[in-house]
């Protein structure tokens, strides 16, 4: 929703995966929220800490809100949960939604949504990392097939 927990964590993980694969210069990655509450702010301190514990640096990322141009700028827009998917449709009713989907529905095996860890504890952020790492591995494999 606010682009300070799940989405920037996914962005950081995927950027790391692309760098390791030598594809960082060929693939454009960004994250955005459907809400504007945290625009310009760094990721949540707990997300920064949890990601750093696994070798991901999110410190340079800043929250932004999704804009209409994102629908033409990116091949995929991957939402973290059904609520964000709903808000994308509601906020941008005229935009082509062909590349819009739930991240884990498209790129993971056993769950559709990335749970929001904002109101929980450390374990919630670790669970988010587990899910996003799995999803990012599958996304990278998909990108490698397409390039």
Residue with tokens 């594809």: 23
Please, is 97 exposed, middle or buried when counting C-beta atoms within 10 Å of its C-beta (0-12, 13-18, 19+)? middle
For 133, the token pair is 């790492």
Residues classed as catalytic? 6, 116
Please, is 127 exposed, middle or buried when counting C-beta atoms within 10 Å of its C-beta (0-12, 13-18, 19+)? middle
């Amino acid at each position: 929703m606010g682009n300070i927990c799940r989405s920037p964590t996914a962005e950081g993980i995927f950027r790391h995966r692309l760098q390791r694969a030598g594809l960082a210069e060929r693939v454009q990655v960004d994250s955005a929220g459907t809400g504007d509450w945290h625009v310009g702010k760094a990721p949540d301190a707990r997300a920064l800490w949890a990601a750093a514990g696994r070798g991901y640096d999110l410190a340079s990322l800043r929250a932004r809100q999704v804009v209409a141009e994102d629908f033409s700028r990116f091949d995929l827009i991957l939402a973290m949960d059904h609520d964000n998917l709903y808000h994308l449709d509601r906020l941008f009713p005229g935009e082509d939604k062909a590349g819009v989907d739930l991240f884990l529905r498209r790129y993971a095996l056993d769950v559709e949504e990335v749970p929001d860890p904002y109101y929980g504890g450390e374990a919630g952020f670790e669970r988010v990392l587990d899910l996003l790492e799995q999803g990012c591995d599958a996304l990278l494999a998909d990108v490698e097939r397409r390039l």
